[in-house]
Amino acid sequence: MLKKYWFWFSLIVIAFSTYDYFEHIFREGSSFEKNPIDWLLFSGSATLLLLTFVLLIKRILEKITTKRNIIFEVISIGTWLVLHIYIFGPLLNKLFWPSSQLTFKFKITGFVIVLGIYFIFRVIVNAIMRKSLFQ
């Protein structure tokens, strides 16, 4: 299990989400500080959706093409980001964050940077694990 990439990916996402949660609720006077349970529900749901959606889309692409490819991971993360900004985020906002309106805006620069960083990270991980990028 410790050699599985998805274990480490999930652990990093959960660790970052945990940091993000506490960083938000410790903002003095903020709506996050006043509503920590609501923010936990929003943040936890978004994290769970990310992990589930990215793994599901990656597996579907692998089944369709019968190949393993890190590009499928980049595509699934990119798809999730777009869906989170336009659908999942606003929906979770209505369900779990009635305290205020969160803002969701798509910015192509940030989108490309996130996917580029992920791709570079994945190339480094594959090099360390001595795995091919495309199987």
Render each residue's pLDDT in the chain as its tens digit; 135 residues: 556 778 888 999 999 999 999 999 999 998 899 999 999 999 999 999 999 999 899 889 889 988 877 888 899 999 999 999 999 999 999 998 877 778 889 999 999 999 999 999 888 887 887 777 666
For 122, the token pair is 């994945």
Answer yes or no: is 99 within a domain: yes
**Domain of residue 83, residue span:** 5-129
Answer yes or no: is 135 within a domain: no
Answer yes or no: is 88 within a domain: yes
Answer yes or no: is 61 within a domain: yes
Give residue 9's pLDDT.
85
Answer yes or no: is 79 within a domain: yes
Answer yes or no: is 9 within a domain: yes
**DSSP per position, 31-84:** HHHH-HHHHHHHHHHHHHHHHHHHHHHHHHHHHHHT--BHHHHHHHHHHHHHHI
Structurally, how many domains does the chain consist of? 1
Question: Would you say the pTM of this structure is higher than 0.75?
Answer: yes
Answer yes or no: is 134 within a domain: no
CA separation for the pair 111, 71 (Å, rounded): 15
Answer yes or no: is 91 within a domain: yes
